[in-house]
Amino acid sequence: MERRTIGATALDVGAIGLGCMPMSWAYSRSEQRGDRSLRTVHAALDAGVSLLDTADMYGPFTNELLVGRALKERRSDAFVSTKCGLLVGDQHVVANGRPGYVRRACDASLRRLQTDVIDLYQLHRADPEVPVEETWGAMAELVSAGKVRALGLCAVGARAARRGADLHEGTIRQLERIQQVFPVTAVEAELSVWSQEALARLLPWCAARGVGFLAAMPLGNGYLTGTLTPGGGFERDDPRARHPRFTAEMMAANQPIVAGLRRVAARHGAEVTPAQVALAWVLGRGRHVVPVPGAKQERWAVENARAAALRLTAEDLTEIAALPAPRGSWD
């Protein structure tokens, strides 16, 4: 698989990563099975994937334990990205950015991951009660202590402060503050054919500073793969059951986007899928971009890894640019 470098310290990873979250969190929980997921991680590594994206809150904790089982056997094949700063309670997820907590969280992640160093340690969410510089300073000390190789900021939950404002205005302000304390190696934020907000300012901000960009939800939470049926329903605790783009009506209304990806895929051969086109489009947004498609199924992880070899033509890109804007949003 093509390799990409992220960050000023030039960390080297396979161009496509593996989002491990669906193995223990969020989607179709009744289908989450540890041994099957472990096989998926191995299949992805065999296919050239190196970046495994997890977080202490996925599960909580069980996703890191699962990744740790794979790392124990083949640490040198993997680049592990995990996150701290969000605590899962009975009813809510709350941020905790206190330095003492960050130090304890890192030690606990190292134990669960069965490794002595985390390649990329991300702040999952800034704590509104703690100046972000304080949290970031504590994370920087983990680099000095040799427990972490590089730091990242996760901006997946960004919401525009007001309608029409740049979604990532607040993220960029935060990035500029923490850059004063210690270099940011990567930013993780949503980027896909149907969620292109990061292209406006966040992606160029990263490119201009040699900061890597991990594209979360590059498959539109599964929608862009064309394998979800409008009205098919979701399990009660699956976030898509409450997501405005996943009502039966909006899933039907957004089918022209999937149809467009299918047309592009067909031009590249019968075995090429809409998911691979969606990933190739994300990869094409910049040399500093690494998509991290989530998958618990081995066949998806392998299919997604193969997207690194797919080159979209000018005709493909024109067709994707002309696709209708998605219907249904959080605003």
Ligand X SMILES: NC(=O)c1ccc[n+]([C@@H]2O[C@H](COP(=O)([O-])OP(=O)(O)OC[C@H]3O[C@@H](n4cnc5c(N)ncnc54)[C@H](OP(=O)(O)O)[C@@H]3O)[C@@H](O)[C@H]2O)c1
User: Dihedral through CA 63, CA 79, CA 4, CA 1, nearest 10?
Assistant: -80
Minimum distance between the CB of residue 145 and ligand X, rounded to whole angstroms? 25
What is the distance between the alpha carbons of residues 304 and 17, in angstroms, rounded to a whole number?
9
Minimum distance between the CB of residue 328 and ligand X, rounded to whole angstroms? 15
Q: Which of 105, 178, 275, 308 binds ligand X (CB under 6 A)?
A: 275
- Of 84 and 318, the one with the shorter C-beta distance to ligand X is 84
Q: Percent helix, strand, coil in the chain (nearest 5)?
A: 45, 15, 40
**Both tokens assigned to 213:** 């960009």
Q: Is the dihedral of CA 144, 145, 148, 149 positive or negative?
A: positive
119 binds ligand X (CB under 6 A): no
Amino acid at the residue 99: P
Q: Which of 62, 297, 319, 327 binds ligand X (CB under 6 A)?
A: 297
Q: Which of 156, 160, 250, 253 binds ligand X (CB under 6 A)?
A: 156
Catalytic-role residue among 58, 101, 121, 223: 58
48: CB partners within 8 A, 6+ apart = 1, 14, 16, 305, 308
Q: Which of 194, 205, 246, 300 binds ligand X (CB under 6 A)?
A: 300
58 is catalytic: yes
216 binds ligand X (CB under 6 A): yes
Q: Which of 68, 97, 218, 286 binds ligand X (CB under 6 A)?
A: 218
Applying CB under 6 A, what is the total number of residues that bind ligand X? 29
- What's the DSSP call for residue 5? E
Residue nearest to ligand X (CB): 294
The CA angle 68-290-218, to the nearest 5 degrees, is 95
Question: Candidates 106-114, 203-211, 222-230, 321-329 — which segment interacts with ligand X by CB under 6 A?
Answer: 222-230
196 binds ligand X (CB under 6 A): no
What is the distance between the alpha carbons of residues 222 and 228, in angstroms, rounded to a whole number?
7
Residue entry with tokens 């309608």: 163
Q: Which of 64, 294, 308, 326 binds ligand X (CB under 6 A)?
A: 294
260 binds ligand X (CB under 6 A): no
What is the distance between the alpha carbons of residues 302 and 169, in angstroms, rounded to a whole number?
35
Element (H, E) at 101: helix 99-113
- Of 137 and 156, the one with the shorter C-beta distance to ligand X is 156
127 within 8 A of 98, measured Cβ to Cβ = yes
Positions touching ligand X (CB under 6 A) are 19-22, 27-28, 53, 154, 156, 188, 216-222, 225, 227, 275, 292-297, 300, 303-304
Catalytic residues: 58
